Structure 1
Amino acid sequence: MGTFTTSDGTTIFYKDWGPRDGRPIVFHHGWPLSADDWDNQMLFFLSQGYRVIAHDRRGHGRSSQTSTGHEMDTYAADVAALTDLLDLQGAVHIGHSTGGGEVARYVARAKPGRVAKAVLASAVPPVMVKSETNPGGTPIEVFDDFRASLAANRSQFYIDVPSGPFYGFNRDGAQVSQGLINNWWRQGMMGAANAHYECIEAFSETDFTDDLQQIDVPVLVAHGTDDQVVPYADSAPLSVELLKNGTLKSYEGLPHGMFSTHPEVLNPGLLDFVKS
């Protein structure tokens, strides 16, 4: 693990495990989490001989709690600074939820040779919020409620989200993992309230249509059909339509946090895509 400093003085924490000559896989976490959310997948790919890398987004985890930069252009610029620092070539970038938006924005602007493939998993593109041009989107009032709940009692909010819709633990018959709930809360509370508050706008209102249309590399779009956070119908199928080389893989009945609840299902599919 290590840190680096961006051009605006922000310290970014990152993990970098595995052989330096191994094919790099870069993981991008969701809101309001950290690189730790990818522990299972990083260990899985590490065991397959890959070099695995994940960073804490600014204002999240162990990175600086900044006053500015909590929007997708800066998030992508921070990723570009990390890939320049490590001089990554032919990397596979895998993003979950907000991290999927970060991947789309970064890959669309990446230097030639940096990226070989990408994965958008339960990801926010093309755009989440409902509007005249996105009638199937999520009403802005939902995100206003997110902001109000975070401001009123962030600690309780960060128990309620993983206990309910994030992992689908509010569904009948769900196998609830208190460890996942506790770890979600731990990661969330490590970060900055201001960054998480502002990131709600970044993940819900950013339109990634142009980014998706500009991406030339193969992209796997993976999404659970019972995603209660980023509804399937307004995300995955629409993203694939915009991509030049996109493949849709739907996971029947799986929740937003499916990489944590069903890694034994998701990891082999990721490996197949990386190898293909």
Structure 2
Amino acid sequence: MPFTTLRDGAQLYYKDWNPQGSTHTAVFSHGWPLSADAWDKQMFFLASRGVRVVAHDRRGHGRSEQTWERNDVDNWADDLAELIDKLDLKNIVLVGHSTGGGEVARYTKRHGQSRVSKIVFISSVVPKTVKSETSPDGVPVEVFDSFRAAMLHDRAQFFTEVPAGPFFGFNRPAVKDKVSKGLIDSWFTVGMQASLKAVYETTYSWEVDYSEDLKALDIPALFIQGDDDQIVPVQAGAYAAIKLLKHGTLKIYPGGAHGIIDTEPDSINQDLLGFIKG
């Protein structure tokens, strides 16, 4: 399996599909508490259509090393930069889902946009998910405190309830006939493989303000979100973010849940392909 050694000696796992002869390259950053595998539907689709696709397991997640320190968005951005530099990727499209949206935004702030041509945010935590004076539609910090307490008390139970409920919107009566036990079990399994400390500390990245990161973007940006996202309120996410982007495009999925890359993959895949090759 391909790994790269980071500046602190940690091993970062990554996938690199269809690297030969591709004219476009997309680099994916996954959401909490998952791994690069969360992007398999998109990566298979795009690689089958001539796009080089790269995705990594964030440190502490999946197959990457479970480091005790550096489980924060600045270090995730630096890890991503090391991977991009190692593979000498250029003219790339960055794609971030949920927490991964914060990671790709912070990458452009800390490492510039010289290697990036476009950026995509899907159900992202930017510009600011936690409720505050500048983000009145955000999530009260007490909710995040309850997440942290639940993980420390009984992570397995909590990681059963999240995918069975709000993450994929399976708690909505309208989708009761579309509930996927396999998808729930997969989310649980991958999440439980991650470091408890990493998934615990990741929740603090949802309290970061990424407004300045977005304002600094000088490249085309696509923001995709479902209007029934129960994890990141759409008013605090997509609708707030689009106001900060110089070259932004907004795509709202009516009734879409937070995990739309799995619940509506066909539409997401087509939107990504059109944006990448457009």
TM range (shorter): over 0.9
Is the Cα contact below 8 Å between 2:138 and 2:232 reproduced in 1? no
Is the Cα contact below 8 Å between 1:19 and 1:51 reproduced in 2? yes
Is the Cα contact below 8 Å between 1:19 and 1:49 reproduced in 2? no
Alpha-carbon deviation of 1:103? 0.9
Amino acid at match of 1:36: D
- Corresponding position of 1:124: 125
Residue identity over aligned pairs, in percent, reads: 51
Alpha-carbon deviation of 1:244? 1.1
Question: Aligned ranges for residues 113-152 of structure 1 at < 5 Å?
Answer: 113-152=114-153
SS state of the match for residue 173, structure 1? helix
Alpha-carbon deviation of 1:48? 0.3
Q: Which moved more, 1:128-137 or 1:213-222?
A: 128-137
- Corresponding position of 1:269: 271
Q: Deviation per CA, 1:83-119: give whole Å up to 9, x if none.
A: 0000000001110000011011112333453101010
Q: Deviation per CA, 1:7-43: give whole Å up to 9, x if none.
A: 1111100000103331211111000000000010000
- Corresponding position of 2:35: 34
Q: Deviation per CA, 1:134-164: give whole Å up to 9, x if none.
A: 2221101100110011111111111110000
Q: Give the distance between the partners of 1:110 and 1:88, measured in 2 at CA.
A: 13
Alpha-carbon deviation of 1:59? 0.6
Q: Deviation per CA, 1:59-92: give whole Å up to 9, x if none.
A: 1111111111111110000000000000000001
Tell me whether 1:208 sits opposite 2:214 in the alignment.
Answer: no
Which of 175, 189, 212 matches 1:186? 189
- Corresponding position of 1:238: 240
Which of 222, 225, 228 matches 2:224? 222
Give the TM-score of the pair, scaled to structure 1. Answer: 0.97
SS state of the match for residue 135, structure 2? coil
Amino acid at match of 2:42: Q
Amino acid at match of 2:120: V
Alpha-carbon deviation of 1:5? 1.0
- Corresponding position of 2:93: 92
Q: Give the distance between the partners of 1:141 and 1:176, measured in 2 at CA.
A: 29
- Corresponding position of 2:259: 257
Give the TM-score of the pair, scaled to structure 2. Answer: 0.97
Q: Give the distance between the partners of 2:242 and 2:194, measured in 1 at CA.
A: 32
Q: Deviation per CA, 1:210-239: give whole Å up to 9, x if none.
A: 100111110000000000000101110111
- Corresponding position of 2:17: 17
Q: Give the distance between the partners of 1:13 and 1:51, measured in 2 at CA.
A: 17
SS state of the match for residue 232, structure 1? coil
Tell me whether 1:68 sits opposite 2:59 in the alignment.
Answer: no
Q: Give the distance between the partners of 1:101 and 1:135, measured in 2 at CA.
A: 19
SS state of the match for residue 234, structure 1? coil
Amino acid at match of 1:14: Y
Q: Deviation per CA, 1:144-200: give whole Å up to 9, x if none.
A: 110011111111111110000000000003110011101101110111000100110
Runs of 4+ in 1 over 6 A off after TM superposition: none
Q: Give the distance between the partners of 1:249 and 1:109, measured in 2 at CA.
A: 27
- Runs of 5+ unmatched residues, structure 1: none
Q: Give the distance between the partners of 1:15 and 1:168, measured in 2 at CA.
A: 29
Amino acid at match of 1:258: I
Q: Give the distance between the partners of 1:42 and 1:155, measured in 2 at CA.
A: 28
- Corresponding position of 1:6: 6
Q: Give the distance between the partners of 2:197 and 2:31, measured in 1 at CA.
A: 16
Which of 196, 199, 213 matches 1:196? 199
Q: How many residues align?
A: 275
Q: Which moved more, 1:106-115 or 1:187-196?
A: 106-115
Q: Give the distance between the partners of 1:273 and 1:4, measured in 2 at CA.
A: 29
